[in-house]
Chain A
Amino acid sequence: MIKNRTNYSSRKYVVIMIFSIVVLVLLVKLFMIQVVDQSYKHSSDNNTLRYITQYPARGKVFDRNGRLLVYNEAIYDLMVIPRQVKKLDTLDFCSTMNISREYFNERMIKARRYSTFSPSVFMAQITKEEYGMIAENLHKYQGFYFQTRSVRNYPYPIAAHTLGNIGEVSKKDLERDSYYKSGDYIGKSGIEQFYEKELRGEKGMKIIVVDVHNREKESFMDGQFDTLPVAGKDIFLGIDAELQLYGEKLLKNKTGSIVAIEPSTGQILAMVSSPAYDPNELVGRVRSDNYTKLLNDTLKPLINRATSGVYPPGSTFKMLNGLIVLQSGAVTAKSAYPCNGKESQPIRCTHSHNSPVALHEAIENSCNPYFWETFRDMFASSRFASAKEAYSFWYDHVLSFGLGSTFKTDIPSEVSGSIPKSSLYDKVYRGVWNALTIRSLSIGQGEILVTPLQLANMAAAIGNEGYYYPPHLIKSFSDGSAIDSVMTTKKVIDIKSKHFKDVKIGMCRVFEGDHGTARFSKIDSMQVAGKTGTAENPHGDDHSLFMGFAPADKPQIAIAVVVENAGFGSQWAAPIASLMIEKYLRGYIKNTNKEKRFLE
């Protein structure tokens, strides 16, 4: 069976040579790191290395004027590595720590169960004072050491919904992102959550040599392998802390919300949801107790009504209908329509005024028949072949104001509200419907639902005469890095600016006209444009609504106010909006009598 071919057996030397060379290379490298290079020998038999995570300072949050809203306060976690705990005088330890023997046992068992090698938290969130006491004696307790952590602190007790809070990472977070280790903090809601990546910074790692007496001796290999933590970015919000504070005071003991936007940028100036809570309540060891309390509160203070409360816009929606019918060409600003007051059909007027009325007076008097009739005429216009076509013209324009969808910016817990699609009516009315069937849309009732945020944005878009920037919270990062372009992209509405000018005139007359529904909320030497609304609420008393902006020609603030179950818009929402506007533009309230009834 021996084959008689070319004999390659001498090639065994090549193969053996390859084996030997590789083994030699490995040995040379081993000689280098084990014998030549002394740096690895720093950890002698009695020394161990301790890996200390260097937590970066979480970014601070400021308001638009640089007022500090959120900062960090140092606290200390006492860590334990069960494996390194040796010759511990438990009694002495417990008395220094001021804990019971039972507590000690319980914590040690828990730590040991987690890992005997890896550090776990023995006692969390020790204050500076306690820390000082214990640190002096720490050398006696092998295997224990301190780790500095920080908690959030809020100098102003405001904007809890917007700022959100941080908490320990959940199991899910740990699985999703390997950056986090058990016990780390993560943004749980609000901008803490949205800007988690920017705020958190990057953790660093310090490796130190620890001797048998638990004394930290030196940096391992001169810190060659240490990494420095990178502090998180600071964030400047568009919020005006004073205005926010004032808004929260105005809504105290009421249910509702205020949203104020800077129309030229889309930045939120104030976002109030009432009832609110103090963000400091959700910090530290009291966090979980307070959280449960807030969660069980029947008024649901944890819900941000400004972004997730939905309301029928009522008369505030009439501006949109005015703009759309003008744009359709079926009606001009001069076209006048008769009003029979309470006798009007099919929708009655709730105000008494002259007849007939054109756009300006119709807005001033919030005349229901005018808006129904113009809506009907638009549907009847020869421009549209069918009711469906007219409806889609109306629908597309309504959506272009940002209604019916979320803005998808950094604002937490937004809901989209609802603007009905024509298919809904096809289904309900089996395809047979016309302007009359859906007439309640003409006065902002019916199937329309908007959030206060959307309402404020609508005001901004009208104030800007045809465009808006998606409303957002952030103003800038401390390092000047760019904010998401979604928030800086201008949205243009396909309606001529002259129509906006006409609607604005009407909105100014709401304050200035003899019959204006907000004439009692007028501000001295300031031209405010706005519209009140009273939204029918099938679940109880009507909601009081307002939306508007000021100054009318070049608005610096656009605002929406909703006070739940408070009745007429002119009674509650409009005066609150007027105070907010004055506070923002003037810095104080000239006639303090106006605010009295809200601040008591």
Chain B
Amino acid sequence: MSVDRGLLSAKGKIMTARNNIVGKIDWWLLAIYVALVSIGVSAIYAAAFNEMHPSIFDMSQHYGKQFLFAGVSIFLGLIIMLIDAKFFNAFAYIIYGLSILFLLYVLVGGSTIAGSKSWIQFGSFSFQPSEFAKFGTALAVAHYLGGINTDFTKLKTQAIAYGLVLFPMMLVLMQGDAGSSLVFLVFILVFYREGMSGKILVIGLVAIVLFLLTLYFSKWYVLIGLAVVFAVIVFIIEKTRRNIWGLIAVFIVSAMFVFSVDFFFYKVLKQHQRTRINIILGVEKDIYGVGYNLHQSKIAIGSGGFSGKGYLQGTMTKYNFVPEQHTDFIFCTIGEEFGFVGSFVLLSLYLALLVRIILLAERQRSAFSRIYGYAIASIIFFHLMVNIGMTIGLLPVIGIPLPFLSYGGSSLLMFSLMFFVFLKQDANRMNIL
């Protein structure tokens, strides 16, 4: 192959790629993304507003930096659009391996920020490998399950798939970042779509209910309740007598679960994590210790009312009543300044994004693209649920960012990366035979 021909064909590829992009890109999805990022920068502008530096482009301020990160993200998106769509499938394991290496490195030589040892410092820029690991895991799972010979009904396949998720999850947990490690649990939705038994999903749900009940009430009450429920079931099916041993087994497993939750809560969790959960459950009231953030955040959101106080008019926001407001508590600003209407619009945008990704994922010809789409939808979903849930007191204060909105280059770039890779896969779907 002569040099000229090579050059020519490369040029041709770029040309076709460009044609594909313009024609095949899902503009709706991209529009939602741009809307969310813009809302993010404006909200950070409101939250971190400094009257001495009123320009949104001021690089010494959080909003200036976030504006820069947004620009970098778009640029990154452009590059991804130009890269061959097969690249991410082909390099899935390498990217996964790299993310694992980062996680291991952080355990040895990471910097501690806000209590967890989960950051890598590059000069003045710090980045959180757990964010990158989510992307790597999504790729790896999609690559593995999307393989031609992979049969999810086989036990071995399932074990490997779960292992791919659990390994980085354990590493993140070992960094002391319990919140980020929980995110990996959401892959259960991906597995479900790929053929995991629906029972596991139900069991997962029951487990969450039992978990919460055990924390609310003494484990003994929960056990008595369980016993009563099972006794009733036994009584109903008494005539048939079938499955009585199975039922007993289920009861024993449930009881063991209750005990282990109790053990986990009192022995494994650290005091500050326990306190956070207790405050959510209303067991503890502590408005200027750990509960301070939550209390302030609820007041800020609640004071927004139906239509909000207006942009840059939020008094709670302006007077810095909510700590960490530009990062994990960014939703407060929207809640306060735009009220319920704003919350509704924002959540609708997120739901539209999620549903759109799922629908697009379903139209993929390649299993890799479909699974990857499910993975990122699930990750975004989990972040959304936990982040907003914590700001309004539905869930414990777990420090994970709101996708595309929270301040932070590491988070915005990672979510953008995940997003654009999917957008590229989708735009390229027709090229896959």
Does A associate with B in a complex?
A: yes
Closest-by-CB residue of B relative to A13 is: B358
Name the contact of B305 in the complex, choosing from A11, A23, A34, A83 (C-beta under 8 A).
A34
- Closest residue to B388 on the A side, CB-wise? A26
Let me know if A27 and B302 touch, CB within 8 A. Answer: no
Query: Within 8 Å of chain B (Cβ to Cβ): is A30?
Result: yes
| A 77-100 to B, binary, CB cutoff 8 A, 1 in contact else 0 | 000000100000000000000000
CB distance from B194 to the nearest CB of A (A): 7
Q: Which of B148, B287, B305 contacts A35 (CB 8 A)?
A: B305
Q: Does B276 contact A (CB under 8 A)?
A: no
Identity of the chain A residue whose Cβ is nearest the Cβ of B201 in the assembled complex: A14
Docked-complex contact B298 and A40, CB < 8 angstroms: yes
Chain B residues with CB under 8 Å of A43's CB are: 299, 303, 315-316
Nearest B residue to A226 via CB reads B287
Tell me if B432 and A33 are in contact (CB < 8 A): no
CA distance A9 to B367 in the complex (A): 12
Say if the beta carbon of A170 comes within 8 Å of chain B. no
Given A11-B193, A33-B301, A41-B302, A205 and B288 contact (CB-CB distance below 8 Å): yes
Q: Is the CB of B302 within 8 A of A1?
A: no
A482 on the interface (CB 8 Å rule)? no
Distance in angstroms from A319 CB to nearest chain B CB is 52
- Chain A residues lying within 8 Å of B355, measured Cβ to Cβ, are 16, 19-20
Kindly state the separation between the CA atoms of A2 and B304 in the bound complex, as whole angstroms: 50
Distance between A136 CB and nearest chain B CB, rounded to angstroms: 27
Query: In the complex, which of the residues A11, A14, A15, A34 contacts B302, with contact meaning CB atoms closer than 8 Å?
Result: A34
- B404-433 vs A, CB cutoff 8 Å, 1 = contact: the mask equals 000000000000000000000000000011
A12 interface residue, CB < 8 Å from B? yes
| B143 interfacial contact with A, CB 8 Å | no
**B344 contacts chain A at the CB level, 8 A cutoff:** yes
Given A12-B358, A16-B358, is A30 in contact with B343 using a C-beta cutoff of 8 Å? yes
B347–A6 CB distance below 8 A: no
Contacts of A48 in B (CB 8 A): 315, 319
Asked if B119 is at the interface (CB within 8 A of a chain A CB), the reply is: no
Q: A29-B392, A225-B295 are in contact. Are A15 and B320 (CB under 8 A)?
A: no
Q: A201: shortest Cβ distance to chain B, in Å?
A: 16
What's the Cα separation between A42 and B316 when bound, in Å?
12
B361: A residues at CB distance < 8 A: 12
A113 to B406, CA, bound (A): 27
A33→B366 contact, CB < 8 A = no
Q: Is the CB of B195 within 8 A of A8?
A: yes
- The answer for the CA separation of A12 and B359 in the assembled complex, in Å, is 8
Given A11-B193, A23-B350, A45-B313; A34-B319 close (CB under 8 Å): no
Is B306 a contact partner of A15 (Cβ separation < 8 A)? Answer: no
B67: interface (CB < 8 Å): no
Output the least CB separation between B313 and chain A (Å): 6
Query: Which chain A residues border B388 with CB–CB below 8 Å?
Result: 26
The interface residues of chain B lying within 8 Å CB-to-CB of A2 are: 365
Name which of A5, A40, A51 has the most chain B CB atoms within 10 A of its CB. A40
Cβ contact within 8 Å between B351 and A29: no
Contact with A along B364-407 (1 / 0, CB 8 A): 01110000001001100100110011001110000000000000
- A597 in contact (CB, < 8 A): no
Alpha-carbon distance between A48 and B303 when the two chains are bound, in angstroms? 11
The residue from B192, B384, B385 contacting A15, defined by CB atoms under 8 A apart: B192
Assess whether B259 is interfacial by the CB under 8 Å rule.
no
User: What's the Cα separation between A47 and B378 when bound, in Å?
Assistant: 41
Which A residues are in CB contact (< 8 Å) with B303?
40-43
B321 on the A face (CB < 8 A)? yes
A184 to chain B, nearest CB (A): 14
Q: Is B366 a contact of A1 with CB atoms below 8 Å?
A: yes
Q: Is B26 an interface residue (CB 8 A)?
A: no
For B172, the chain A residues whose CB sits under 8 A away are none
Q: How far is the CA of A25 from the CA of B350 in the complex (A)?
A: 14
User: Is A49 part of the binding interface, using a Cβ–Cβ cutoff of 8 Å?
Assistant: yes
Most buried by A among B313, B315, B377, B389: B315
Given A33-B298, A33-B302, the answer on whether A26 and B392 have CB atoms closer than 8 Å is: yes
Q: Answer whether residue A588 sits at the interface, using C-beta atoms and an 8 A cutoff.
A: no
Q: Scoring A residues 32 to 70 as 1 if CB is less than 8 Å from chain B, else 0, what string do you get?
A: 011101011111010111010000000000000000000
Q: Are B344 and A27 in contact (CB under 8 A)?
A: yes
Name which residue of chain B comes closest to A227, CB basis.
Answer: B287
B window 17-51: CB within 8 A of A:
none
A1–B368 alpha-carbon span in the complex (Å): 11
Shortest CB distance B151–A (Å) = 8
Beta-carbon contact of A205 and B287 below 8 Å: yes
Contact B365 A31, beta carbon cutoff 8 Å: no
Q: Is B77 an interface residue (CB 8 A)?
A: no
How far apart are the CA atoms of A40 and B302 in the complex, in Å? 5
Can you name the residue of chain A whose Cβ is closest to the Cβ of B308? A34
Cβ 8 A contact of A49, one of B306, B321, B339, B365: B321
Distance in Å: Cβ of B305 to nearest Cβ of chain A: 6
With an 8 A cutoff between CB atoms, is B166 at the interface?
no
Check B251 for interface membership: any CB of A closer than 8 A: no
Verify B148–A3 contact, CB threshold 8 A.
Answer: yes
Cβ-defined contact, B313 with A117, below 8 A: no
Report yes or no: A11 in contact with B343, Cβ–Cβ below 8 A: no
- The answer on a CB contact under 8 Å between B392 and A30 is yes
**Residues in A whose Cβ lies below 8 Å from that of B393:** 29
User: Does chain A have a CB within 8 A of B340?
Assistant: yes
Q: For the complex, is B362 an interface residue (Cβ under 8 Å from A)?
A: yes
Closest to A40 in B: B302
Write out the residue numbers on chain B whose beta carbons fall within 8 Å of the beta carbon of A49. Answer: 299, 316, 319, 321
From 54 to 110 in chain B, residues with beta carbon under 8 angstroms from any chain A beta carbon are: none
Query: CB-CB < 8 A to B287: which residues of A?
Result: 205, 225, 227
Interface bits B223-238 vs A (CB < 8 Å: 1, else 0): 0000000000000000
Contact with A along B263-289 (1 / 0, CB 8 A): 000000000000000000000000111
A83-B340 contact in complex given A26-B388, A40-B302, C-beta closer than 8 Å: no
Q: Nearest Cβ in chain B — how far from A45, in angstroms?
A: 6
Interface status of A22 (Cβ within 8 A of chain B): yes
Q: Determine whether the beta carbon of A22 is less than 8 Å from that of B385.
A: yes
CA distance A205 to B296 in the complex (A): 14
Question: CB < 8 Å: which of B192, B319, B367 contacts A117?
Answer: B319
Q: Is B189 an interface residue (CB 8 A)?
A: yes
Query: Out of B198, B365, B394, which one reaches A26, CB within 8 Å?
Result: B394
Contact between B306 and A29, CB atoms less than 8 A apart: no
In the bound complex, CA of A42 to CA of B303 (Å): 8
Compute how far the CA of A15 lies from the CA of B192 in the bound complex, rounded to whole angstroms.
9
Most buried by B among A29, A30, A117: A30
**A26's closest neighbor in chain B, by CB?**
B388
Q: Does A18 contact B (CB under 8 A)?
A: yes
A129→B302 CA distance, assembly (Å): 42
Q: Give Cα distance in the complex from A475 to B381, angstroms.
A: 62
Interface centre among B189, B302, B377 (most CB of A within 10 A): B302
Interface residue B142 (Cβ < 8 Å from any Cβ of A) = no
Q: B residues within 8 A CB of A31?
A: 340
B-side contacts of A6, CB under 8 Å: 195
Could you tell me if A8 and B392 are in contact, using CB atoms closer than 8 angstroms? no
Question: Is there contact, CB below 8 Å, between B302 and A22?
Answer: no
A27-B306 in contact given A35-B340, A117-B320 (Cβ < 8 Å): no
Question: Are B193 and A19 closer than 8 Å at their CB atoms?
Answer: no
B138 in contact (CB, < 8 A): no
Determine the distance from Cα of A12 to Cα of B151 in the docked complex, in whole angstroms.
19
**Residue pair B351, A34 in contact (C-beta under 8 Å):** no
B-side contacts of A51, CB under 8 Å: 288
Top 6 A-B pairs, shortest CB-CB distance: A40-B302, A34-B340, A117-B320, A33-B302, A30-B343, A23-B351
Q: What 10 new A-B contacts, CB under 8 Å, besides A18-B189, A29-B393, A34-B302?
A: A22-B385, A26-B388, A30-B335, A30-B392, A33-B301, A35-B306, A42-B303, A43-B299, A43-B315, A205-B288
User: Can you list 24 residue pairs at the A/B interface with Cβ under 8 Å?
Assistant: A11-B193, A12-B359, A15-B192, A15-B377, A16-B358, A19-B358, A23-B384, A25-B394, A30-B343, A30-B347, A34-B301, A34-B343, A35-B340, A40-B298, A40-B301, A42-B303, A43-B299, A43-B303, A45-B315, A48-B315, A49-B319, A51-B288, A117-B319, A227-B288
